[in-house]
Structures are given as structure tokens and as C-alpha cells.
């Protein structure tokens, strides 16, 4: 696909913004935080659980089907599906069986969590990740999932993820390139994905997930530049290592999905002391009424730590 000039991208961005305004005027759902949003009583928060909580990239992936059964047994309202945990079978037949299984247990498939990286000077690499993201949007659509986590990607100059975490998520840029360039790569790539997201009714939630999304300022730079109701924020409570509360508050007005980290037994890379009463207050102040999805990242047995985490979250958000 040919690379668009900046003027072409700005024109396309304007068209997307105009289309979004028309959609909102037509009565499509609003996200909280808009200045003209009327106040209304908040509904109780619904709690999901990421299938990651039962796996954490251990040697043997926990099958999605097993995770759905566990979520229902433990009392969750929904399940967030980690795409890489699905294994090789992404056939439509399996997708519909997963949807039927969740429905039969009274669960919603509430989120789809994907991996992509747009921080590369190689346009072919960026396009491959755009194509991957478009495919993921299609999967979310067929699963009936209304929101999908997306990432900025990162420079890739760390030896591995362990080294990245040892350096608190900070890594050097590729020689000869700047963050400003990288932000443009990410903005352009996400703009290419938005028409499919709108067509499928899948809101993309840009997560504070290392790389350019390591800080709330980085996430919001991209979200505000694109300015579309189909690109909002997935707020991960455990991916800020400095000034957590201030950064949660910065993302809260644009948040469409929350991933709530817990660390019972100690975390693999780090352990954070997260006050979920404070998280609940920050989200409540902006009228957030979306999902809170548990991402258990501790070393305790998930069979015990996941329900314990749910009880703690319910108490904090009560």
C-alpha cells in the first residue's frame, strides 16, 4: 500500500472526525467525559477476567474454553480474550462455539486483547501490523466483542522483555530516529484501522502498554491527534511505574475499558501497591460505566488468587 503524505493524512483525519461527529449526532453511544454529557445515575460496574490471568505466558496455554468455564464458576460477569492464547484455531466455527459457550453460562465476551507494533521505520513492517490489526478486528466482530485493546509497539532495542522490565519499561530509540517520527507512524497506522473498526462496531482501546504508551501523555497524544470515537483508551492500572494516580486520572475521561492488575504472591517483574478504592473514585468522577477486567499477574495459584482478586475489586468498587 502506498504511503500517504502528511497532508493526505491530515485530510483523512478530518474526514474521520467529521464522520465521527455525524455518528454521534445520529445517536450512537457516547463515552463518558464529554462536556455536554448529561449526568445520570451510575450503573454498578461489571467485572470481567482476562484469559491471561489463567496463563501468564507459562509453558502450557490455558485453553480459552477452560478459562470461560473458570470465569463462570468464580462469579465473573464477562471474559476478556487474549488473542495469542487462542492457539492456531481461529476458524469461524470455533469462534461461534466460544460465543455460544459464554452465552450459555450467562457471560459476556467483553474484550479482545491483541498485540501489534507500529514503531518501525520499515513501512512494510508497519503495514503487516496494520493487516494483523484488521484481522483481529474481524475476529472481535465475529465473537460479538465490542472493544479491542491495541498497542503502540516499541523501539525493540531491549534485549528481551525481561531487560525492558529491568529498565522500568524505558528503552533507547533506534539510532537516527525520533519519538516524533514514531508517533506519526502509529497515528497513520491506527487511522488505517479505524474505518474497519467503525464498520464492525469495535472500539479500539489504546493501552498504556510500554513503548510510546508507557506514559499517559504518550497515549493521549495519539488519541487526541486522531480524535475519533472509535479510538479510545484501555486503561491498565499496572502499567504505570511512576505517578500512578495522576496518570490514571489523565486517561480516565477517554477510557472505554479497564484492565485491573493484582499481584497476589508477588509479581513476575514487579509488584505494585494499587489502591482500587482510589481507582474506583477516579473512574467514578468521570462517569465511567464500562468493564473492569482482572489481569492477575501474581505467582499464587490462579484457582485461589483470581477469585480473591474479584472479591477485592468488588469491595473497592461497591
pLDDT tens-place string over residues 231-244: 999 999 999 999 99
* Cα separation, 18 vs 81, whole angstroms: 32
**What residues form DSSP beta bridges with 43?**
none
Instruction: Decide if pLDDT at 11 tops 90.
Output: no
Could you give the angle at the alpha carbon of 238 between the alpha carbons of 232 and 240, nearest 5°?
Answer: 75
Instruction: Decide if pLDDT at 13 tops 90.
Output: no
Q: What is the pLDDT of residue 51?
A: 98
The residue-averaged pLDDT of 277-303 equals 97
Residues belonging to the chain: 318
Q: What is the mean pLDDT of the chain?
A: 89
Kindly state the DSSP code that residue 143 receives in the 8-state scheme: H
- Per the model's pLDDT, the better-predicted residue between 140 and 35 turns out to be 140
Rg (CA), the chain: 19
Note whether residue 244 is domain-resident: yes
Instruction: Decide if pLDDT at 12 tops 60.
Output: no
Note whether residue 98 is domain-resident: yes
Q: What is the pLDDT of residue 58?
A: 83
Domain that holds residue 178: 44-112+154-182+210-220+232-317
* Cα separation, 115 vs 98, whole angstroms: 21
Q: What is the pLDDT of residue 22?
A: 38
Domain holding 166: CATH number?
Answer: 3.20.20.150
Note whether residue 20 is domain-resident: no
Judged by average pLDDT, the poorest of 37-51, 163-177, 270-284 is 37-51
Phi, psi of 278 (to 5 degrees): -70, -40
Q: What is the pLDDT of residue 140?
A: 98
- From residue 229, give the alpha-carbon distance in Å to each of 26, 107, 203, 223: 13, 26, 8, 10
- Do 47 and 316 meet the contact criterion of CB atoms below 8 Å apart? no
Domain count, the chain: 1
- Do 231 and 190 meet the contact criterion of CB atoms below 8 Å apart? yes
Note whether residue 88 is domain-resident: yes
Note whether residue 3 is domain-resident: no
Instruction: Decide if pLDDT at 10 tops 80.
Output: no
Note whether residue 123 is domain-resident: no
Kindly state the DSSP code that residue 242 receives in the 8-state scheme: S
Note whether residue 216 is domain-resident: yes
Cα 291 to chain center, whole Å?
A: 11
Kindly state the DSSP code that residue 234 receives in the 8-state scheme: E
Hunting for cell 469495535 — which residue is that? 202
Identify the band that residue 39 occupies on the pLDDT scale cut at 50, 70 and 90.
Answer: low
Mapped onto helix, strand or coil, the DSSP state of residue 88 is: coil
Identify the band that residue 88 occupies on the pLDDT scale cut at 50, 70 and 90.
Answer: confident
Note whether residue 131 is domain-resident: no
Phi, psi of 197 (to 5 degrees): -60, -45
pLDDT, tens only, 119-129: 999 999 999 99
User: 55: closest CA among 301, 266, 257?
Assistant: 301
Q: What is the pLDDT of residue 185?
A: 98
Hunting for cell 472481535 — which residue is that? 140
**pTM, rounded to two decimals:** 0.87
Identify the band that residue 60 occupies on the pLDDT scale cut at 50, 70 and 90.
Answer: confident
* Cα separation, 50 vs 67, whole angstroms: 9
Amino acid at each position: 500500500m502506498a504511503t500517504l503524505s502528511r497532508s493526505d493524512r491530515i485530510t483523512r483525519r478530518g474526514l474521520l472526525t467529521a464522520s465521527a461527529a455525524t455518528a454521534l449526532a445520529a445517536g450512537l453511544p457516547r463515552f463518558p467525559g464529554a462536556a455536554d454529557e448529561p449526568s445520570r445515575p451510575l450503573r454498578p460496574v461489571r467485572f470481567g477476567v482476562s484469559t491471561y490471568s489463567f496463563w501468564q505466558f507459562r509453558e502450557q496455554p490455558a485453553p480459552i474454553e477452560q478459562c470461560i468455564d473458570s470465569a463462570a464458576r468464580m462469579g465473573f460477569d464477562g471474559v476478556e480474550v487474549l488473542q495469542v492464547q487462542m492457539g492456531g484455531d481461529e476458524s469461524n466455527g470455533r469462534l461461534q462455539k466460544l460465543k455460544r459457550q459464554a452465552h450459555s453460562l450467562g457471560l459476556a465476551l467483553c474484550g479482545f486483547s491483541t498485540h501489534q507494533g507500529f514503531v518501525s521505520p520499515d513501512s512494510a513492517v508497519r503495514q503487516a501490523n496494520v493487516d494483523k490489526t484488521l484481522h483481529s478486528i474481524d475476529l472481535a466482530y465475529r465473537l460479538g466483542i465490542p472493544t479491542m485493546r491495541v498497542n503502540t509497539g516499541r523501539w525493540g532495542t531491549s534485549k528481551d522483555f525481561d531487560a525492558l522490565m529491568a529498565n522500568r519499561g524505558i528503552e533507547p530509540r533506534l539510532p537516527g530516529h525520533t519519538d516524533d517520527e514514531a508517533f506519526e507512524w502509529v497515528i497513520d497506522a491506527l487511522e488505517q484501522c479505524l474505518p474497519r473498526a467503525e464498520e464492525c462496531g469495535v472500539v479500539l482501546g489504546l493501552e498504556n502498554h510500554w513503548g510510546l504508551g508507557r506514559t499517559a501523555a504518550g497515549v493521549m497524544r495519539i488519541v487526541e491527534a486522531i480524535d475519533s470515537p472509535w479510538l479510545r483508551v484501555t486503561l491498565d492500572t499496572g502499567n504505570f511505574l511512576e505517578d500512578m494516580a495522576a496518570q490514571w486520572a489523565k486517561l480516565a475521561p477517554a477510557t472505554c475499558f479497564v484492565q485491573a492488575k493484582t499481584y497476589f504472591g508477588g509479581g513476575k517483574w514487579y509488584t505494585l501497591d494499587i489502591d482500587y478504592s482510589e481507582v474506583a473514585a477516579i473512574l467514578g468522577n468521570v462517569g465511567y460505566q464500562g468493564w473492569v477486567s482482572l489481569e492477575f499477574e501474581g505467582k499464587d495459584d490462579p484457582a485461589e488468587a483470581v477469585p480473591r482478586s474479584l472479591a477485592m475489586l468488588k469491595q473497592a468498587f461497591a
